[in-house]
């Protein structure tokens, strides 16, 4: 069985804030697509709802959902929201990633 995903408190707060401003449910969909400079790239979207086969992680009422195909590539990951001088972004700490890039949104296995 795949390991669960973790959504940090900082990420949950940011998702709740964005969802409220856009009048959408506080559901962040994480998916993985081919591409990026390392082979795969993360994609984040606010979702209107969940699919029956989604894996769901809940932090303070904010849901992180991942489809089964993407879950194979991000199992055990932590999604965080980081603010720095370089900007603000959601970051995935993926224990399966063998390679990454400077932008933080691309990885290889």
pLDDT in tens, 12-59: 999 999 999 999 999 999 999 887 666 788 899 999 999 999 999 999
At residue 3, does pLDDT exceed 70? no
- Convert the pLDDT of each residue in 69-82 to its tens digit: 999 889 999 999 99
**Where are the strands (E) in 20-61, listed by range?**
27-34, 40-46, 55-59
At residue 1, does pLDDT exceed 50? no
**CA dist., res. 23 & res. 11, Å (int):** 18
The pLDDT value given to residue 50: 92
87 and 93 Cβ atoms separated by less than 8 Å? no
């Amino acid at each position: 069985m795949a390991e669960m995903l973790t959504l940090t408190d900082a990420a949950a707060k940011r998702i709740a804030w964005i969802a409220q401003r856009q009048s959408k449910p506080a559901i962040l969909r994480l998916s993985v697509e081919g591409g990026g400079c390392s082979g795969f790239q993360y994609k984040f979207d606010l979702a209107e709802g969940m699919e029956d086969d989604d894996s769901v992680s809940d932090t303070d009422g904010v849901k992180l959902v991942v489809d089964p195909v993407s879950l194979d590539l991000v199992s055990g990951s932590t999604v965080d929201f980081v603010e720095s001088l370089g900007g603000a972004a959601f970051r995935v700490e993926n224990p399966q990633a063998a390679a990454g890039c400077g932008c933080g949104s691309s990885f290889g296995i």
